[in-house]
Amino acid sequence: MAVTDPISEGRLQAPFGQTILRVIATFGSIAVTMLGLLFVTFVIGRIMPIDPVLAIVGERAPQATYDAVYFDLGLDKPVIVQFGYYIWDVLQGDFGDSLLNARPVSEDIARVFPATLELATLGILFGILIGTPLGVLSAVHQGSWIDQIVRFVALIGYSMPIFWLGLMGLLIFYGLLGWVGGPGRLDIFFEDIVPTRTGMILIDSAISGHWDVFRNAFSHIILPASLLGYYSLAYISRMTRSFMLEQLSSEYILTARVKGLSERQVIWGHAFKNIRVQLVTVMALSYANLLEGSVLTEIIFSWPGIGSYVTTALLSADMNAVLGGTVVIGLIFVCLNVLSDLLYRIFDPRSK
Amino acid sequence: MSEQTLLNWLLTDEPTSRRHARLTRFYQGWLALRANTLAMLGLSILIVLTLMAILAPVLAPHDPFVQNLGNRLQPLGSTDHLLGTDSLGRDILSRLIYGSRITLYIVALVALIAPIAGLLVGTVSGYAGGWVDVILMRITDVFLAFPRLVLALAFVAVLGAGIENAVIAISLTAWPPYARIARAETLTIRSSDYISAIRLQGAKPLRIITKHIWPLCMSSLIVRVTLDMAGIILAAAGLGFLGLGAQPPSPEWGAMISEGRRFILDSWWVATIPGLAIFTVSLAFNLLGDGLRDVLDPKSRGQ
Amino acid sequence: MNTLSKLLSSGIISLTTALSPIASLAATPADTLVVANRIDDIITIDPAESFEFAGSDVSRNIYQKLVNFDPFNLDAGYQPEIAESWTVSSDGRSITFQIRDGLTFASGNPVTAEDVAFSLRRAVALEKTPSFILTQFGFSADNIKETITTDGNSVTITTDKRYATSFVLNCLTATIGGIVDMKTVMANEVNGDMGNEWLKTHSAGSGPYILSSWKPNESVVLTANPNYAGSAPAMARVVIRHVQESASQRLLLERGDIDVARNLNTEDIKGAREADGVIVEDELRGRLMYFALNQKHPDLAKPKVRQAMKYLVDYKGMESSFLDGQYVIHQNFLPRTFLGAVDANPFSLDIEKAKGLLAEAGVDSLELEVGVREAQERIEIAQSLQNTFAQAGIKLNITVGTAKQILGRYRARELDVYLGAWGPDYPDPNTNAATFAFNPDNSDAANATGILAWRNSWDTGGLTEKTAAAVVESDRNKRSEMYADIQAIFRDTSPFAIMFQRIEQTALRDNVENLLLGGATTAASYWTVTK
């Protein structure tokens, strides 16, 4: 999937006096974006050739049952009226009930989102902790075999179909070697032991001191998390390299070198320090991408996350669930974007 | 003109015409690119792919659609079927070769639609500023904030499954980043003296955008498109994997993986071979894109 | 397995043996049965509403019915369960059930005649999808007070006319016949929904298990019902986990992390057979794979064309290749083991004959669209059809969509050809006869979207009357012959090409015994399992 790159959008710096106005404008634009997001999703839901009524009543329903559900859902009202009702409910924190399983969508999301959050967080940690040093290494040794290898490894990560890699990883590390846990979040032995607090099993088990559960959960999460981590590693190392190259070729680094600073100080103390903010932006974006939930990874690893939740809902025309999921994903995306934008504005060395 | 004079002409520091200048720049870029081994590797893979697509009927040992249920799931290296056969007994090598046409088709279409749409939105937004800018950028944000696969899935579901619709769906999800790049470039170009001079000469906005701003946005867009190609191929494959891309019996690589994943444990090659093909082509685009960036991207130029 | 992958795996295995002690095989707890199954079709557990495959498996383990099937002896037909015995009135319209003493719901409440009457009335009054199984006997929200009555310890149901008693009782074994605990359900009523909302995610039955949790698309957990009147099941807990991929299910099973894998495809079944500690069991199910030709298409409406298409299917080729072991050739609308089922399978791939028939019909080229949902085996069947049709000059374009998308168009009579599956709703021949060979009003206005014959605009050519006659025939043998007769005509003239009947292949750890899936007639029983 394409990854957005806010760096290329060199926004102009605003004078300090306008900061408060800017904050208001930022929140305004978040609100407008979210409203637009909801509206697009809503329209898609209405023009989809999948019949939500059929999704509920099943293929053999007599016409009377069908009609009853049709009116129940308010589908006889104009689309704009339906949208109005929906927005009103959302503002009150009510995403409606899932059409399919009749549960509140917010409850479903509270169940599936922590699963994705846990996976994405571990994945991004993996990506950052390995990707950043690799990127720096590669930039410092630009053109050498180290650089070539790092770039190649990153490109492989970029180019591999994840469903294939996932199945192969499962086959080798679980099926043949038994080093990691299988599909799912826990072995059956360990299910329902730890009380649900955050919904993230690693954290819940650590809080309650069930280290056996923690170990088991870790053995299940490690493979999908490393896969996702590999993908963000590819992006992060690549961007790190490119930022570092830019810094290393700049005047002040030359000056620093001339002054006789050690190579280590030059690289970590000066060049790397200057790209930290840009890096945070990249990381935030990678994180946002992972938080969308990788549908394919979730399917292969039977991971009940938000990606497969929204996809399943979409394919069965459960529009309340799709809308709810999209709002949550969109909100996270927008917030991370704004956050990194802010960081960029505040700390960008060029603005000083 | 002898070869030497042509080279001199191309390498001169004092171009005699605008066309001359452009050709000179192009040639120097090419020289820089040629020095980059990995980029050349990528380029050659893509040339091979293109040749493969053009010559598919000559190269393919079998008809990619002919079934033979009695001869299914033959292993790699079996006589007559170098890469084995799939679940319906079709020759995988032949399907792979014909599949390159579909891959190229997808890539070409998306590479045309998404950046152009992005360019249009971005430049208009950046040049016009004001309300137009606000509205267009909010729309861009909405599409950016959308979970991408969900958006593509939704569009495919609305339009109906099929390769053309998959292309449209992917393009619809791919344009926002281009719009932002184009807008950013436009903002910097717009305020330059060069554009002010043209404006003073009385050029209309439309002309300024198409004749002066677009060409300047091109290089960063081309780099970005090449780097995104892998993502596009993988997205198309992902749609194919979910059964919403190319329709059977089309030998689209993603659909082939999807068909083959049922046998991943015993007949692993059925899914692995198209997987490797996707991998190779994505890698080629990435290698080329990396190289192009070094040549074209102003930020990294001159290192 | 081919040599290379064998080499690879043996290489890796010897590598692990060298490096570390072999990872000890996981095992599931001794009193817990862990099943991997695709359960994403479950949308409710309420027996008055539940109508999906995975849902009926869950329901059968929670709710008892008036009459039910003995999992160990399906051939015996329905047996007394909550009803101890029953009598039929002389006009054949009323059946009176004596309710068994000593049965209790999970709540501890006794099972009474009131509960039974309430459950049946509720199923009719809620008018959910499966309600037609009961309303076809003339029950409606307006008359349930008179037609379903209690008297002390007995319940009487009165149908609008005389039906074969076996037909009525067979229908009561369907999921919708599940008896719920009136007091518990009504205590959870919201806005007059008779507890429908609550029962979607909770259980109130008298069967061996209670529903302890259901996480959509994730898992269903059943625990033993402490108040169950029968002997406590050996498996105190049954965990059904949603695992989408066949390969994942097989890996889990081979590693011992689950006891049963229910959705292995034919290739993985072959692989699993070779694994240590895994056995494979086959069970014939009621699901049929068929394709249907829309009679609105002028060429497809020609009888010779319909016949020709039935000769353009590579039945044997498919049965012995990608459907191997999971489907068996069957060309009649009643699944094998049903009353009235016949074994005649006269059609086989015969391109020349089909060409001749097409020529006689005056059709030399034809382009058709087939709708199929995105399930791999169906897509492969469609491609095989595409291949054989092409040999007779018929171009078949495949449109793959989600189940809901394709079904929507099928119900709107829009598809030329539909390729899909059909499973019986209740274990009586009428279930399929009433949809394949029954269509009293073929007009668009009738909108009888539930009837397959209507969806294909087929007026049945007189089979409607024969089907209506068969359902009221009370002589079992005579009734059986009537269905055989209907199917003979149907095979030749109908626009339906029935191709295969499903065999469910289940892979299980070799210590699991008595997992009975319910054959073609009913759903799975987990309470019989020991290990």
ipTM beyond 0.90? no
Interface of A with B in 277-296 (CB under 8 A): 292-293, 295-296
Q: What average pLDDT does range A259-286 have in this prediction?
A: 82
Q: Quote the pLDDT of residue C509.
A: 94
Give the fold, CATH level 3, of C63-196: Dipeptide-binding Protein; domain 1 (3.90.76)
The alpha carbon of residue C275 is apart from the nearest alpha carbon of chain B, in Å, by: 12
Task: Using an 8 Å CB-CB cutoff, list chain A residues near B181.
Answer: 5, 8-9
Confidence at A59, pLDDT banded by 50, 70, 90: low
**What are the pLDDT digits (tens) for A257-271?**
888 888 888 888 888
Paired residues of C110 in beta bridges? C104
Res C104: pLDDT: 95
Q: Give the pLDDT mean for C46-71.
A: 92
Rounded distance, CA A181 to CA C252, Å?
9
Given a cut of 50, whether residue A2 has pLDDT beyond it is: no
Task: Check whether C344 has a pLDDT greater than 80.
Answer: yes
Cβ-based neighbours of A121, under 8 Å, separated by 6 or more:
A287
pLDDT of residue C24 exceeding 80: no
Contacts of C281 (CB under 8 A, 6+ apart): C505, C506, C508, C515
Residue C29: closest C-alpha in chain A: A189
Taking contacts as CB-CB distances below 8 angstroms, the residues of chain A near B237 are 161
Q: Is A156 on the interface with C (CB under 8 A)?
A: no
Whether residues C247 and B264 touch (CB distance < 8 A) is answered with yes
Residues C376, B262: C-beta atoms closer than 8 Å: yes
Domain range C1-42+53-61+207-277+510-531, CATH class = alpha beta
The domain spans of chain C are 1-42+53-61+207-277+510-531, 63-196, 284-504
| CA–CA distance, C80 with C100 (Å, rounded to integer) | 9
Cβ pair B262:C267 closer than 8 A: yes
Cross-chain Cβ contact B264/A326 below 8 Å: no
B102 min Cα distance to partner chain C (Å): 17
Residues of C in contact with A308 (CB under 8 A): 217
- Residue with the larger pLDDT of the pair C235 and B282: C235
H-type helices in B249-302, by residue range? 253-260, 269-296
Nearest CB to B261 within list A158, A167, A293: A167
Strand order in the sheet with C148-151: C83-88, C94-99, C154-158, C148-151
The answer to whether residue A47 neighbours chain C at the CB level (below 8 Å) is no
Contacts of C380 in chain B (CB under 8 A): 87-88, 259
| Nearest residue, CB atoms, C12 vs list A172, A183, A187 | A172
Which sign, positive or negative, has the C-alpha torsion A90, A94, A95, A99? negative
In this prediction, residue C187 has a pLDDT band, given cuts at 50, 70 and 90, of: very high
Residue of chain B whose alpha carbon sits nearest to that of C399: B247
Most A CBs within 10 Å, among B40, B103, B125, B141, to test the A interface = B141
Q: How far, in Å, CA of C248 to CA of C321, rounded?
A: 22
CB A216 within 8 A of CB A190: yes
Residue in chain A lying closest to C16 (CA): A177
Confidence (pLDDT) at B241: 67
**Distance (Å) from the alpha carbon of C377 to chain B's nearest alpha carbon:** 9
The predicted model gives A142-161 an average pLDDT of 82
Please name each of the domains of chain B with its CATH number: 28-296 (1.10.3720.10)
What pLDDT score was predicted for residue C8?
47
Q: Quote the CA–CA distance of B48 and B179 in Å, as a whole number.
A: 32
CATH entry 2.60.40.10 includes domain C284-504:
no
Distance (Å, rounded) from C-alpha C177 to C-alpha C66? 7
* CB atoms A12 and B187 under 8 Å: yes
List the single best residue of B134, B135, B142 to mutate versus A (max A Cβ within 10 A): B142
Q: Do A161 and B234 touch (CB under 8 A)?
A: yes
Q: Do B145 and A148 touch (CB under 8 A)?
A: no
Which residues in chain B touch residue A314, judged by CB atoms under 8 angstroms apart? 150, 153-154, 157
**CA of A241 vs chain C CAs: smallest distance (Å):** 36
How far off is chain A from C251, nearest CA to CA, in Å?
6
Question: In chain B, which residues have their Cβ closer than 8 Å to the Cβ of C386?
Answer: 248-249
Does 1.20.1050.10 match the CATH number of domain A105-351? no
At C11 the pLDDT is: 43
Whether C26 and chain A come into contact, CB under 8 Å, resolves to yes
Residue A101 to residue C201, Cβ atoms within 8 A: yes
Collect all residues of chain A within an 8 Å Cβ-Cβ radius of residue B290: 151, 155
Is the pLDDT at B86 greater than 60, yes or no?
yes
Confidence grade of residue C238 (pLDDT, cut at 50, 70, 90)? very high
Report the residue from C402, C411, C425 with minimal CB separation from A315.
C402
In angstroms, the CA C503 to CA A206 distance is: 46
Q: A77-118 pLDDT, tens per residue?
A: 887 888 888 888 888 878 877 877 777 888 888 888 999 999
The residues spanned by each domain of chain A are 105-351
CB contact under 8 A, C251 and A55: no
Q: Note the pLDDT of residue C442.
A: 93
Instruction: Quick: pLDDT tens for C81-102.
Output: 999 999 999 998 999 999 999 9
Contacts of B212 (CB under 8 A, 6+ apart): B189, B194, B195, B198, B203
Mean pLDDT, rounded, for B75-91: 88
**Residue A168 near chain B (CB below 8 Å):** yes
Structure tokens at A42: 């809503």
pLDDT per position as a tens digit, C461-494: 899 999 999 998 888 899 999 999 999 999 999 9
Task: Specify whether the CB–CB gap between B170 and B109 falls below 8 A.
Answer: no
**Interface touch A322/B174, C-beta < 8 Å:** no
pLDDT at C23: 41
Instruction: Please state, rounded to an integer, the average pLDDT across all residues of chain C.
Output: 90
Q: Which residues of A touch C29 (CB under 8 A)?
A: 188-189
SS3 C204: coil
Q: Which residues of A touch C127 (CB under 8 A)?
A: 64-65, 68
**Which pLDDT does position C10 carry in this prediction?**
46
On chain B, the residues whose CB falls within 8 A of the CB of A6 are 180
Nearest-by-Cβ selection for A2 from B177, B271, B279: B177
Q: Which residue of C has its CA nearest to B86?
A: C322
The Cα of A51 is separated from the nearest Cα of chain C by a number of Å equal to 7
Asked whether the beta carbons of residue A330 and residue B145 sit closer than 8 angstroms, the reply is yes
Which residues make Cβ contacts (< 8 Å) with residue B72, sequence separation at least 6? Answer: B85, B86, B87, B88, B89, C321, C322
Q: Is there a contact between A239 and A282 (Cβ–Cβ < 8 Å)?
A: yes
Cβ-Cβ contacts under 8 Å between A and C: the total is 141
> How far does the CA of residue B85 sit from the closest CA of chain C (Å)?
13
